[in-house]
């Protein structure tokens, strides 16, 4: 599911960019998915759910993924 009331979707990779990590952001994302969080604020809640956490500028960090 995407969000609390969204339709079910099959994700293999969820890249959360500048996402707080509120329940609405991670609802429906289960342990079969890889969650990558990117934000300049390393204290965001999304990092608790993330498998990979990149703290820094979006454009600099996204280039590291390729």
- How would DSSP label each residue in the chain? --TTTSPP---SEEEEES----HHHHTT--TTSEEEEEES-TT-THHHH-SEEEES-HHHHHHHT-
Per-residue pLDDT, averaged over 47-56, amounts to: 91
- What pLDDT band is residue 56 in, cutting at 50, 70 and 90? very high
Per-residue pLDDT, averaged over 56-63, amounts to: 88
pLDDT value at residue 43: 92
| 37: pLDDT strictly greater than 80 | yes
Per-residue pLDDT, averaged over 4-28, amounts to: 74
Task: Note the pTM of the prediction, 2 decimals.
Answer: 0.71
Per-residue pLDDT, averaged over 28-42, amounts to: 82
């Amino acid at each position: 599911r995407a969000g609390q009331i969204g339709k079910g979707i099959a994700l293999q990779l969820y890249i959360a960019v500048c996402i707080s990590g509120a329940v609405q952001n991670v609802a429906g994302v289960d342990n079969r998915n890889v969650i990558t969080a990117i934000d300049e604020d390393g204290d965001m809640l999304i990092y608790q759910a993330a498998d990979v956490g990149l703290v820094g500028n979006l454009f600099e960090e996204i280039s590291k993924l390729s």
